[in-house]
Structure 1
Amino acid sequence: MKLYNKIIVMPGLFMLLLSTVNVSKAQKTTRLAVAGPRGIWVVCGDVLPKNFSYSISRQKSSDDGPWVKVANTQMPASKEDLQANILNTEKVSGMDIAPLDAGALQSVWQRVTNNVVTNSPPEMLNDLVLRAATGTAWYDAAAESATAYRYKIEIAGNANLKAEDYTNIIKYPISKFVTDIRPAVITPSLGGIYGEFKVVDSGQMYKCQILRSYYLRSGFEVIDAKPIFIRRKGSVFISFIDNTAVQKVPYSYSVQPIDAAGNPGFASPEMKAFDVAEKSIAPSVYGLRAHSDKKNRALRLGWKIVNNKNITTIDIYRSEVYDGQYVKIASVAPTDTSYFDRLVKPITTYYYSLTLNGTYETSPPSARVPGILEAMDDNLFPPDNVQLKQDSNKVVLTWDRNEADTRAYIVYRADSRDGVFKQLATPLISTQPGLSYTDVLPVTTNGITYTYAVADENTSYAISPKSRPVYASSYNFAALPIPNKITVRKTDDNSKLQVFWPDMSTVSSVFMGYAVFKTITVNGKTSAPRQVSTRLIPIMVNTFIDNDIKTPGIYHYTVRTVGMDKKRMSSASPEGGYTIEEEAGPAQVSNINLFPSAGSVQLSWNNPIGENLLSIQLMRAPEGKEPKLIATLDAGTQAYTDKNVTTGNTYYYTFITKNKNGKTSQPTDAVGIRLR
């Protein structure tokens, strides 16, 4: 499997890892769309398309727009095509480019082309690249980020499979998933570094990478160290060997979990190592702290050292980002235990770390600690003349500067009249006398009152109290509820269809009523949706009767809620349907009797009962000729004399009944008589 080119899995652990992945969940009944880091995986089904193809269409769910066909998938014709599919999918999806070696390629090809194998093998269900390469999945690299999509899967060429199905609604990227992976063992040596992380909770992890960071270098990078999963005493560990570690350089290692769709999770906590020879300076700094000293307008650093023997100097490093670049700001004597950093700004977080220098060696950096210089000057007055204007869900705030030393403004919003304020965005840096801020309220299904306030920040970074509150409402643009569980049945007289849906007023009160739409499918062709409720259906009514059901076919109904302006509508509900079958013709006449009588034929019969008959058609055929209509009789007639006959000939009679709906019966079997 391609998995073997990326991670090494110890026996017994492979199924453990698969059990944490949800890609193959319910594949036999459900199509699935899965968000990737820069596109969307579409799982068409688990049946390998050996004698058919999957057709994939896409719809933007936000506007209920048209379905656009985007792809067809089939089984590759050869193992070379399989390899090409793998490489192409890895390239467009951003996965590691890792072609199968000859042995693995042959193994996969034999597995999926075996005549008894009709579904994707269980060991491939979570490998989306292999699924796409064998035709049961597809990667949509053209999908726009932060846009919700739905996919329609159609099957062409196999009548035994469901012809059409839909995936869930999905958009990408998604939030990082959480695992619990903890540093366990680190063993530095001059030939490399061996490390282990303990997997307490694998979350959605399908594979992982080992990350490494260098001392005083920002960020982590992936290294060429294969993670090996091992099980020991009931616990799972991820081990690795870093053969590229350099002596006397501090490193930090972390595990980057990745799910089956290629999405990264949160990286594990760091594990630190220092590859040095023996008798080096030991890292012995402890108790490092940074305190705000308002009197000296500085941050005062304090620390302790276990033993300053062999130490020549202590270097102090500072950064404004915890994982950023640290710059040396001072070197002090080995006996010093404090330092004043005066080149700092108030209300700004700084991070500090120390290293110990010997004659030939340098220790690893100490733990990093934060420090914040408190505000120097008070800020007592908030912005003045705060005003709010609202247009639908667009809110514009304006205010005036109240003090000359104002450098920035902070806008707050609460999701109710008396709710807790939360800061919106970052502070607005400005020294202008007047300022404005535009906010877009979130879509909601209920009317909500939002509360706004503004505070300012002075040049000492002190924040003022909040201004008087101003208010906005979401009532006029609240999201309309979407009806569900649509059911359709015939009325008691069998002449109409009645549509039912739940009472959506129990979910939301921000709509005026309902509108019903209908499509009809006849001979595989579906009409365009049209509104069949000519008037607004009141909010307290959750049913509709359709009188126009004359055409046989499948009737589909959807329901939408209508907004307060009687123009805006919700998205369509799921469809409810009912099939109107072609009406059968009436029953035939029975007990047909023929009697010769002086140059004529006397006919008698019994008409069917309860068939709502309109007429009876009588057909006659001389022997060896086609039957022709000789009479159309009233529905109550049950006898007839045919005088248009001659002796010496044989005649055959058939009957056809016709009801008032225009339907006719099958002709009766021909009954013959010979006139002598």
Structure 2
Amino acid sequence: MQTFKKIILAAGLVLGYTISMAQTTRPSALAGPKGIWVICGDALPKNFSYQISRQKNNGEWLTVAEVKMPRSKDEIQADLINTERAAGIDIAPLDAARLQLIWDRITPDIITSSPPELYEELALRAATGTAWYDATADSATVYRYKVKMITSGTAIPEAETNIVKYPQEKFVTDIRPAGFDPSRQGFHGEFVIVDKGTMVRCKILRSYYLRSGYEELASVPLFVQRSGKTYISFYDNTAVAKVPYTYAILPIDAAGNRGIASPLLKAFDVPDKSIEPSVHDFRTHSDEVKKGIRLSWKVNDAKVINAIEIYRSDSYNGKYFKLATVRPADTSYLDQQLKPIDEYFYTIKLVGFYETSPLSPRVPGVLRASNRNLFPPQNLRIKQDSNKVTLMWQKNEGDTRAYYIYRAPSNGELKQIGAPIITDSVNVSFTDKLPASNGKMVYTYAVADENTSYAISPKSARVYAYSAGNTTLPIPYDLKVQKTNGNKLLVTWADMNKEKQPFGGYMLYRRVNTVDGKITEAVPVTVKIISAGINFYLDSLISDGATYSYSVRTVGFDGKKLGSPSNQASFTIPAEIPLSVANIKVFPMQKAVKLSWNNPMGQNIKSIQIYRALEGKAAQPIATLDAGMQTYTDKDVASGSTYFYIFTVSNTKGRTSIKTDAVGIHLD
């Protein structure tokens, strides 16, 4: 193993020498809140320098800066603080341990590129020579930059950045309040990140009762992974009990721009249901004059509460919804949002400034109907078009609010069909479709109305509709599906013109079982009816990873009547699985292992997943990288251990490649 390490080290030294000016990241410009960041590239300027030129409003190009590698740790610290001060971001000097770690990461001869962990820390990139902050840029001007790599006797052709102007609009995230726990010493809150946008860090903002505006909370936000989601967790050890607080997340991107603050997390530290239950004489009675149920109650001591909440349910053990909130001194409430005759159940909760009481005992209430309804709708008429029946009638009384439609086969028992028709129109109509039947059938219709007291009238005079019954349509058979060379599915079935039953055409239906297991409803593949002389269909709207199931029905000459569906025929198109990475290499480093690989070409890659295993143990995921990444540094390693690395690739269709063979390395 020692020999293996020496070979890798030698190869790394040669590689570092030959590509010391290699550039894999194109220069770019990012707008900050007070200036513009210029990303020169990822190559550390050890034996060259970056020369930066600037163009204002498409004008003349002028050289504005030359960036080189720092010569000492103190120079990194000084450049970092100066850049943070100029950019107007929080000044955060490096502690001695991290300063030494960064120095050790960039100074070895084998290291030629900026460490990946610094890519989103633009101030540190500027301090280590791969970025520059333009503090002289004017917010009213549009800029473009050129970056040229210069060394003695050699100049790499310069590259232009994108056009940029600052400040930009606040970026958007989707960060939502997730929970609050006052049981600890101080308060513990969490937000869940649904979409982080361009956020790389954040601040916790706090406001409290009778205070306008928000202040930054001196609490370090923790990013926690749990159940496949990312949470922002924080502790507020300065909060006071029984004071309402609101918290928000202020997202910040790599350039220091602030996004739109998250929705508020509202909280205060008080126990629930801590008011003594003191509601008594809680009663209901029907108020027919005002058409409602009158609630009345008494409270022993209204001084300890600031509101009374009333809840209602349709059943004793059902779900109770808040009906109203009344003043502490109120002792009655009229519920008019109800129907007569129906039974309702009520309960009360007392609400203090911070505490609440348990719910009171539940009491029932019923509104008795007050207005009689003696007369049915008048002038009921019927109009029939094949199996389509239209009923028409006129409003009979001024307090009518709804109508009920009844139907019966022949002179059988009338039964309600459909929901009540709620309308105040004078002329009313209703359309019905007669049920399918094999024989001739007479149907009877009647209508009743309901007044504002919810009293229902007698049924109207009857009217009649006639159904001639169904003529049996043939059922298609011998349905087959096959894939053509043109990436289409050909569906064929037997020619039903050879059968004795007449018909007017076909309707072909398709159901799709997608790669994620969802099954769609069977829907027609065409809007128009397929001619009776055609017994095939070519389906071009297909994709891989899905199963397509077809059935066909014959259609009557009226274009509406459908026969029974045929047996189903299906065809599965296998999913395209992406290729995995290739040419995996591992390199030992000081307290780390560097990995490199080649991504597959033309695979619509979305992400790269890396798994690591200790010798004799199962592999565990350690990183998910963007599609463009082809290097990764594993710093969570220890000397004397053997590590094995496995890769998978996920594409934009959500498919994952097979795992690569494990590549191992032993660290002495």
Fold in common (TM above 0.5)? no
**Rg (Cα) greater in structure:** 1
TM-score of the superposed pair, with normalisation by structure 2: 0.39
Name the TM-score, length of structure 1 as normaliser: 0.39
